[in-house]
């Protein structure tokens, strides 16, 4: 058995769109399963929308991002403004700049400019159009 840890994000009904966008940015292998594609599940505490994403995975050379549509309508979990982010470390600053530009072209905004950090590496942050913060890092290049 191989052990691994993947990032899992529950988005408010935008998981398919977010995963497709991240697939355009990073490439990799994308799999999306909607509730309507799954066999009936007895004991579900809610009746899911058949078009809602039950589970999605994007496997990239850098790792796995997994997620699904949030089903808890009673709680509003904010995406942007929370304490989490995804850290993507690249081999070169130019590679990071390319990913950042794709995020910006896709409707994202700069959270922190990508530049030399006090610790000597390159670092910057972008919020994608879904509110997810992506931090990009590159060792001294």
Domains in the chain, CATH or no CATH each: 7-69 (3.30.720), 86-138 (3.10.180.10)
**Can you read off the two tokens belonging to residue 133?**
């913060």
- pLDDT for 3: 65
Residue that wins the pLDDT comparison between 83 and 138 = 138
- pLDDT for 74: 52
DSSP assignment of the chain, as one string?
------EEEEESS-HHHHHHHHHHHH-SEEEEEEGGGSPP-TT-SS---TTSEEEEEEEETTEEEEEEE---TT----STTSS--EEEEESSHHHHHHHHHHHHHTT-EEEEEEEE-TTSSEEEEEE-TTS-EEEEEE---
CA distance 52 to 34: 5
Mean pLDDT of the chain: 88
**Mean pLDDT (whole number) for 74-94:** 78
**Can you read off the two tokens belonging to residue 42?**
């007895």
CA distance 67 to 47: 19
Residue that wins the pLDDT comparison between 39 and 29 = 29
Q: Please tell me the number of Cα atoms within 13 Å of 118 on its side-chain side.
A: 0
Residue that wins the pLDDT comparison between 15 and 70 = 15
**Res. 75 pLDDT band, cuts 50 70 90:** low
Whether 132 has a pLDDT exceeding 90, the answer reads: yes
């Amino acid at each position: 058995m191989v052990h691994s840890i993947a990032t899992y994000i529950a988005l408010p009904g935008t998981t398919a769109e977010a995963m497709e966008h991240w697939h355009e940015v990073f490439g990799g292998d994308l799999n999306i399963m909607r509730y309507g594609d799954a066999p009936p599940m007895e004991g579900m505490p809610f009746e899911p929308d058949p078009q809602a994403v039950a589970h999605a995975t994007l496997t990239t050379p850098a790792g796995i991002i997994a997620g699904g549509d949030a089903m808890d309508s009673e709680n509003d979990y904010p995406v942007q403004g929370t304490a989490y982010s995804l850290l993507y470390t690249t081999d070169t600053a130019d590679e990071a700049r390319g990913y950042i530009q794709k995020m910006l072209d896709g409707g994202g905004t700069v959270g922190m400019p990508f530049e030399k950090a006090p610790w000597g590496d390159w670092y910057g942050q972008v919020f994608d159009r879904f509110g997810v913060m992506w931090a990009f890092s590159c060792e001294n290049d």
